[in-house]
Amino acid sequence: MTNPSTPEKNKWTIFVDGSSNPQGSGAGIILENGEEVLIEVSLGLAFLTTNNQAEYEAFLAGLRLAEDMEA
């Protein structure tokens, strides 16, 4: 049995980061396909969070973005 391989041209990478501090919280997302950055997004969260919650919200937003881009 062989594992199917993903051609490099169809490989997408997503980077997410979230942070929280007394002034607010936010998230950053980068979605790229191999050679170039396709999308960079930053967003502010309109509710109080811990740092872990901000990271989780960044992850969810990144997944939504990847789905919207059909990545």
Give the residue with greater pLDDT, 11 vs 71: 11
DSSP 16-71: EEEEEETTEEEEEEEEEETTEEEEEEEEEESS---HHHHHHHHHHHHHHHHHHTT-
Q: How far apart (Å, rounded) are the C-alpha atoms in residues 52 and 18?
A: 8
For the cut 80, the answer to whether the pLDDT of residue 60 exceeds it is: yes
The CATH number of 12-68 is: 3.30.420.10
Sorted by where each begins, the domain ranges of the chain are: 12-68
Global confidence as pTM:
0.74
Taking only the tens place, the pLDDT of each residue in 6-50 is: 555 678 899 999 999 888 999 999 999 877 778 899 999 898 899
